[in-house]
Amino acid sequence: MTQAMPQRRSSRQICWLIATLVVAGLTASEALPFLYTNARTPINWTQPELDDWQVEVQPRSILPHVELKRHANRTNSQPADSDAEFLERLRALRQNRTSPRMLWYDAAAGDGLTYPPFVDKALKLFNLKQVAFEIENSVLSKVSCTACKAGAGLLQHYIKSGKTDAELMKMIAQYCTNLSIQSPRVCEGVAQLFGSEVIYVLQRVNLGPDELCSFIIGDGCGDVYNPYHEWEVVFPPVPKPPRLSELPMPLEAAPFFKVLHISDTHYDPHYVEGANADCNEPLCCRLSSGRPANPNAAAGKWGDYRKCDTPKRTVDNMLEHIAETHKDIDYILWTGDLPPHDVWNQTKQENLEIIKETVKQMTEKFPGVPIFPALGNHESAPVNSFPPPYVNQVDISINWLYDELDVQWRRWLPQSVSHTVRRGAFYSVLVRPGFRIISLNMNYCNNKNWWLLLNSTDPATELQWFIYELQSAEFSNEKVHVIGHIPPGHSDCLKVWSRNFYKIISRYESTITAQFYGHTHFDEFEMFYDPHDLTHSNSIAYIGPSVSPYYDLNPGYRIYYVDGDHDTTTRLVIDHESWIMNLKEANLYGYPIWYKLYTARAAYNMKALRPSDWNKLLNDLTDNQELFEMYYKNYWKNSPARPTCDAECKKRMLCDCKSGRSHDRRHFCADVESKIDEGSSKSWKNWLYRGLSNSYSLISSITYLPKYLLSYG
């Protein structure tokens, strides 16, 4: 029986780009002291030119945007000029520096790469697949940390040695291919798509591998102090309202909103039934994946549990099912990631076409229903590339995406949000009197967004704008729901950004009544606590399941019931349901059946869905193995491909639930881990005791057998 940890799904921005440089750096560490030296050139930070965008003078949504329908049977309610000076200093440093020769690069052989015997041996010892797996799934360890430092150091060395961008990208593709990290076409695509961006950024920062990898990987690579990526948001001088000892429970039988949550569609327009689902590339089930080796390797009609995204027929069927089954939806939360996982082969134009097509599809399936979208990390090309506003050169600016989002989202959003959508793809809308939805662009916390290495200080001034919106909502006695793509406690979220966000949630806990995210593809939740009192839970983040089965998952979506329009409304989530389609049965019988997997309050025996109720559930999941197994089944959307979950797996999962602040697990998870360890120890001791007791009983019974059986007679 195999054991595996729950895999955190995330895109692979430069997984292979870094991995291609990893081995070379590790195997030549002694010959390349620049990778591991303690003597580092002092950092000379260049602050990018900031714009003069002012939060408080921007227009706001102040009129209720949604007119509720009455449903039968219920009441519902440009880099800075100083860059040139900085690059000149790098050139001066290079002229006075002796760079060790790359032992595996044979200049006499032209573009060829040679590997000495000791490098060849080291390649076999180094677990390159482990690095690729960890980066793909955002479960990062010291293996990935060492790999990151080696790869980043080596790439920086090549940049400083004066190689051109074309030479660097060609070398990256060659390493990737020669080391069999990916197929040649994937290696070439990764080098071309991501290489120029990474090179551009690394030419403009003076951080060593330790700082770079601590920034990218987080607590998996040590907490290296970096003063140039430490910053704090500013709060207005307004006292925090007194917190309630316990939030009131929503009234039973009161008006409510019925809300649909769709996330991570990852629609693949090139999915082909019968194509190879077991290919050696990041995304399969396409004609380009080749022929399947046997019938079992063929892609299913409605999708596949292997590395395949969602066929159009499955998206169509799901939307038709929702429109038919849930005719009384009041509004929709749509938390991003529309394009597929072919991250080596994407173009801006193709991603825009997918966005346009899915927006058109949603509009047609749900006419007249308000939709509140959030931007995913896959919408950009290349994936995870979201330059802040100060990066405004035409060829690398993100305006191509944000301008189109403003056009497409205008179908559902008021005109007043256009300025923030075009600036940073975030917005705030007053949905109903006293109720506001704020959509955040979580790509500004994405540690795979390499542009943040230039300057991570509140990109696009999003968090300062967020505080302004929340303070205005507090003054107006509004309750707020926050939506986004990457959960703020996820390892893909930058530590300094997440820490500031956590403070904001704590300050405005009386205003923010729920948060909604996607990204992980699993069905889960995330807790928030008072930073100074971890016994006080102050917010809950609902992480909705993916439509995409990528990978080992069933497609799914969520329905929330939110406290509606009445005099004592709390705007809390009253209950939620998760609906799924059994992909195995759909492919077997030729037609999908969508069904309700569970309802939160009934499944977990919860009085309500307040933060305190979720905190109690978290404690129950730690102590009650049977309850945890139910949660684990729902987490995987009842997938028959889910792995077993041992004690380490359980610790990771529950720690994820408790950590609304990223890369700070030691601060939040000690009690959960100790309880699980204690329970595992008891289980082991009980097993051993029962085994010894049974053995003793058996031996004792033998002594009473007749003597002739014991050969005494």
Query: How is residue 397 written in tokens?
Result: 């600016």
Closest CA to 272 of 317, 311, 305: 311
CA distance 638 to 508: 36
Reduced to 3 states (helix: H, G, I; strand: E, B; else coil), residue 221 is helix
**Type of residue found at 613:** D
DSSP character at residue 416: G
Closest CA to 114 of 66, 56, 174: 174
CA distance 538 to 200: 41
CA distance 248 to 250: 6
Phi, psi (deg, nearest 5) at residue 286: -130, 165
Query: How is residue 449 written in tokens?
Result: 């967004």
Tell me the residue length of the chain. 713
Residues annotated in a binding site for Zn(2+): 264, 266, 337, 377, 485, 519, 521
DSSP character at residue 405: H
H-type alpha helices, 14-53: 15-27
CA distance 313 to 343: 22
**Type of residue found at 133:** F
Residue 641 Cα distances to 192, 518, 602, angstroms: 35, 21, 25
Closest CA to 230 of 424, 499, 474: 499
Which residues lie below 8 Å from residue 360, measured CB to CB, with a gap of 6+? none
Bridge-partner residues for 598, per DSSP?
A: 578
**Type of residue found at 509:** E
CA distance 376 to 351: 12
Residues annotated in a binding site: 264, 266, 337, 377, 485, 519, 521
Residue 165 Cα distances to 62, 172, 192, angstroms: 49, 11, 10
- Cβ-based neighbour number of residue 64 at 10 Å: 15
Which residues lie below 8 Å from residue 135, measured CB to CB, with a gap of 6+? 12, 15, 18, 19, 144
Closest CA to 65 of 572, 485, 405, 428: 428
**DSSP-derived pairing of the beta strands 524-530 and 427-432:** unpaired
Residue 689 Cα distances to 623, 677, 696, 698, angstroms: 21, 18, 10, 14
